[in-house]
Amino acid sequence: MLVILGYLVVLGTVFGGYMMVGGHLGALYQPSEFLIIGGAGIGAFIVGNSGKAIKATLRALPGLMRGSKYSKALYMDLMALLYLLLAKSRQKGMLSLEFDIDNPRESEIFSKYPRLLSDNVAVEFITDYLRLMVSGNMNAFEVEALMDEEIETFEHESEVPAGSLGMMGDSLPAFGIVAAVMGVVHALASADRPAAELGALIANAMVGTFLGILLAYGFISPLAAVLRQKSAETVKMMQCIKVTLLSNMHGYAPQIAVEFGRKILYTTERPSFLELEEHVRQVKAPAQQATEEGT
């Protein structure tokens, strides 16, 4: 939604200012300029990317229209989920998590947090490393190294769509100049026409430079920035999980482990110590009651 709002602001201010000085929008309607700039930009995008990169970029585009899903409420759910999983492993042993790990959508713990279940990256990251912890064959330092490698791989893959759009945005001003030069060539080839017609041809040619710059910095390049921001939010979630699980492997109690995870979150989504403590207390009470009833 913010992307659409931003586009409306760009169009409104640019064309509104143009009309305020007496400009006519009809003079900016040059289909040939759109064809040259847009077609050349898409062609350069195809040439400069592999098939996998093109598919990854196309898959990423729909997500640009949605707002961020990483809110304080989601992180509270994440830390509550991690607390319950780690508390269960501490009380009943790591093997007690096997069903939850293998069937997260049927797990009583995971099913309490449907927002997290819809995030495949978070669910897979949690279950994969809990599975390694259950196996007991890797120490905390080995698991940390593997986590770092996976996060680095995710960052590299996330950069591909952003880099592709960024490259396309950087090329559009140059293609705008190409369109303008071609228009000027056409105008000079028509030098025998009246001055008014010649002036109109040159003005039409200059529209190419305008369109190239507007499309680049008003529409395409900002999308690359949004993709990088969304990638950074996902990486921060993975780092929160990483720190929490590693803290548990180093012997800290579940409540202390989730506090470690809280500390690395961005301040805009980070709950306070008291908020997290109260939230953990609320999820701890039903869990303790269920344990007592089971015994």
44-59, pLDDT tens digit by residue? 999 999 999 999 999 9
Q: Rounded to an integer, what is the distance from CA 168 to the centroid of its chain?
A: 18
Identify the band that residue 294 occupies on the pLDDT scale cut at 50, 70 and 90: very low
Neighbours of 120 (CB within 10 A): 8
Q: Which residue has the higher pLDDT, 177 or 283?
A: 177
Task: Report CA dihedral (249, 251, 252, 258) to the nearest 10 degrees.
Answer: 10
Identify the band that residue 293 occupies on the pLDDT scale cut at 50, 70 and 90: very low
152-202 residue pLDDT tens: 999 999 999 999 999 999 999 999 999 999 988 888 888 788 888 888 888
85-109 residue pLDDT tens: 999 998 888 889 999 999 998 999 9
pTM for the model stands at 0.85
Identify the band that residue 21 occupies on the pLDDT scale cut at 50, 70 and 90: confident
| Residue linked to tokens 């008291």 | 274
Task: Report CA dihedral (208, 211, 217, 222) to the nearest 10 degrees.
Answer: -130
242-264 residue pLDDT tens: 999 999 999 999 999 999 999 99
Q: Rounded to an integer, what is the distance from CA 252 to the centroid of its chain?
A: 32
pLDDT at 286: 63
* Among 222, 68, 225, 234, CA closest to 155: 234
Neighbours of 228 (CB within 10 A): 18
271 Rama class: left (phi>0) / alpha (psi -120 to 50) / beta: beta
| Tokens (6 digits) for 44 | 């350069």
Phi and psi angles of residue 195, each rounded to the nearest 5 degrees, phi first: -60, -35
pLDDT at 124: 94
* Among 108, 117, 63, CA closest to 227: 63
Percentage of residues of the chain with pLDDT beyond 70:
96
Three-state secondary structure call for residue 9: helix
Cα–Cα distance, 182 to 284 (Å, whole number): 71
Domain boundaries, the chain: 71-289
pLDDT at 288: 55
Average pLDDT, the chain: 89
* Cα R_g (the chain), whole angstroms: 27
pLDDT at 194: 85
* Among 108, 67, 113, 65, CA closest to 88: 108
Contacts of 278 (CB under 8 A, 6+ apart): none
Lowest-confidence segment of 12-16, 25-29, 123-127, 241-245 by average pLDDT: 25-29
